[in-house]
Amino acid sequence: MGRSPDCAVKKPLPLPLRAAFVLLLVLGQGVCAGFGPPQLAARDFDSTALWPEQVRELVAVGRQPQVDAKAALLIDMGSKAVLYEKNGTRRLPQASTTKMMTALVALERGNLSDTVVIEPGDLVVASAAGLRAGEMWTLGDLLYALMLPSDNAAAVVIARHVGGSEAAFVDMMNSKAAEWGLTDTHFANPHGLDDPAHHSSARDLAQIAMRGLAEPRFAAIVSTAEREAGGRTLRNLNQLLGSYVGAEGVKTGTTEGAGQCLVALAGRGEGRVLSVVLGSDDRYRDTRALLDYYYANYRTVPLDLGPKGINVIRRSDGSKAVLALEGQPTALLPLWQLPWLQVLRVTPGAEGTAGMARFVAGGTLLAEEPLNALSP
């Protein structure tokens, strides 16, 4: 089979020879610079000279996941990079993924230790947790009923208690959506049952989920598979919990108008990723396809300065100092770019400063991080 001239595949040097070449380059520049750190210029990488394994990985990352949902989104939680998008801003009914906002408004404005009495008027919608008039629940337990079995009556109870009325609480939800710039979102109720004025988008739901996951109480609720409350066992409808490695929440949703919906979070050593599917015939198939695509093709890698011995500089007074990063930065990389990850030290700035570390991969600037000069 002929090769495209735009993607020439070159046979790489054996790994030991490549390592020796890099070591000689670093040591040689260290000597020439007078015992300072390597002042490396951008390496002359030929971006079309890919090793065979890189070609395979490049082809794989370009092979998009098969997703049949009406809208879908895949976001790396570290970099916030969107790795897959299908109709991301299309306004669609969001079903019970609505309850993410219901929970967030309640967490912000309510007291979780409050005791709430279930009223007959709260039960005009179905109660998956079997709420009964006259029962007494804490607001905290009602949030678990809302988010695990996705109880619609719990949404009404929470809205009445926190907002004074369901309508007033929905106004709070819409005010929060406006505050966060969610231009595709409008709420008509706190539970997500179909209504022509009730809609959101994959991008907006991702924003709501990310804000929620930054709230420890919200994150704890949505990651719970099962909880005892109100004298009964509440079970999370999210089937990924316990079945998909690293699954951490977030919220399911299903109505006749919305179809199957799911906002999902997964976290492993390779990275954390958020997916959204709306209007799906099989939300778990679509979500697994998105999450599997991420873990098969991307890695979140730590950015560091490499061997300690080459990070020594000499101050103007003759003393030595060791270069160190101020934080612990990371970067998201497709697998095919990993062999090209390198760090360059930018020329030091003002007197007494250690300059910047520039991390690049295959000619792409990933990050610039300030350096500290520490006493050895």
Span 74-90, pLDDT tens digits: 999 999 999 999 999 99
Contact 137, 158 (CB under 8 A): no
Give Dmax over CA atoms of the chain in angstroms: 83
Residues 318 and 356 in one domain: yes
pLDDT tens for each residue of 176-210: 999 999 999 999 999 999 999 999 999 999 999 99
Residue that terminates a domain, selected from 268, 297, 326: 297
pLDDT of 51 reads 54
Is 65 within a domain? no
> Which of residues 49 and 324 earns the better pLDDT score?
324
Residues 258 and 156 in one domain: yes
**Does the pLDDT of residue 1 top 70, yes or no?**
no
Is 201 within a domain? yes
Residue that terminates a domain, selected from 249, 275, 297: 297
Is 8 within a domain? no
pLDDT of 376 reads 62
Residues forming the active site: 96, 99, 150
Q: Please enumerate in sequence order all residues whose Cβ is within 8 A of that of 195, keeping only pairs 6 or more positions apart, or say none.
A: 188, 189
Is 10 within a domain? no
Residues 342 and 312 in one domain: yes
pLDDT of 5 reads 30
Residues 38 and 130 in one domain: no
**Does the pLDDT of residue 18 top 60, yes or no?**
no
Residues 136 and 19 in one domain: no
Distance in angstroms (rounded) separating the CA atoms of residues 27 and 14: 20
Residues 155 and 26 in one domain: no
Domain membership of residue 281 as a residue range: 71-297
| Mean pLDDT of all residues in 149-174 | 98
**Does the pLDDT of residue 14 top 80, yes or no?**
no
Residues 34 and 146 in one domain: no
Is 66 within a domain? no
pLDDT tens for each residue of 109-161: 999 999 999 999 999 999 999 999 999 999 999 999 999 999 999 999 999 99
Is 4 within a domain? no
Highest mean pLDDT among 1-10, 56-65, 173-182: 173-182
Residue that terminates a domain, selected from 264, 297, 330: 297
Residues 154 and 211 in one domain: yes
pLDDT of 153 reads 98
pLDDT of 22 reads 34
- Which H helix or E strand runs over 103? helix 99-109
Contact 206, 263 (CB under 8 A): yes
Is 167 within a domain? yes
Q: What is the CATH number of the domain that holds 367?
A: 2.60.410
Q: Is 264 exposed, middle or buried (0-12, 13-18, 19+ CB in 10 A)?
A: buried
Residues 95 and 215 in one domain: yes
Q: What is the CATH number of the domain that holds 238?
A: 3.40.710.10
Residues 89 and 230 in one domain: yes
pLDDT of 349 reads 53
Residues 289 and 308 in one domain: no
Is 6 within a domain? no
Report the chain's mean pLDDT, rounded to a whole number: 82
Contact 30, 37 (CB under 8 A): yes
Q: Which of 64-68, 133-137, 294-298, 319-323 has the least mean pLDDT?
A: 319-323
pLDDT of 148 reads 98
Strand pairing partners for 367? 359
Residues 220 and 325 in one domain: no
Distance in angstroms (rounded) separating the CA atoms of residues 299 and 313: 32
pLDDT tens for each residue of 30-54: 333 322 333 333 333 334 455 555 5
Q: How many domains does the chain have?
A: 2
> Which of residues 353 and 297 earns the better pLDDT score?
297
pLDDT of 62 reads 63
pLDDT of 133 reads 97
DSSP helix/strand/coil, 49: coil
59 CB-side CA count, 13 A: 8
